[in-house]
Amino acid sequence: TVILRLTESDNKSTSSRFMLAEQALLIIERNPIVGVGLGGYARASHQNIPASFSAIEPGFRDIILSSLVHNKFLLVAAESGLVGLSLFMYLFFVTIKWLWKADFSNDPVRQALAIGLIAGLVASLVTFMFEHAYMGVPIETVWAAIGAAIALTHGLTQRSSKSRRKRVTLVSAPC
């Protein structure tokens, strides 16, 4: 399918993704702080139509207006504003940071699991650039990975840059 996407017609898939991104940016521009509310993107997409949409045929425009933007970060920012996007990104930052700094020197299995969880979370962030992941397996996998990170780091000592150690848990990290 990748070769066909690159060599054959993509049925305006690429151009529609750019149009959806333009529309999401318009929604974010008009509702920057708290967004349009969870689940409010569909309603907002009919109320926030970029001027460039007037140049496309009505049938294609209707299809675009019934779609979600294929970028999780733009979707989160549109629905929950820049505040919600910041919290969403902070959750990933804190989880990856705690996994990275956890001291697994006596347990190579847990260390391998931590590396796998970090890689999975980073892969999710990359996937979110191209898909909305509104619900379903990608989102559920992220929550399962964050839960596994909590369990994996619970009660462990954390490495410090000044080589002193302190006892921490991911659960007590400020979110």
Strand-pair category, 157-158 with 166-167: antiparallel
pLDDT at 37: 95
Alpha carbon distance 62, 127 (integer Å): 26
pTM above 0.85, yes or no: no
pLDDT at 157: 66
Helical axes 137-153 vs 108-127, angle rounded to 10°: 150
- Low-confidence stretches of the chain (pLDDT < 50) are 163-164, 168-169, 172-173, 175
pLDDT at 5: 66
pLDDT at 3: 77
pLDDT at 162: 54
Three-state DSSP class for 157?
Answer: strand
Q: What contacts 11, CB < 8 A, 6 or more positions away?
A: none
**b/e 92-126 (16+ beta carbons within 10 angstroms → b):** bebbbebbebbbbeeeeeebebbeebbebbeebee
Tens digits of residue pLDDT in 107-146: 999 999 999 999 999 999 999 998 877 778 888 999 999 9
Alpha carbon distance 41, 28 (integer Å): 10
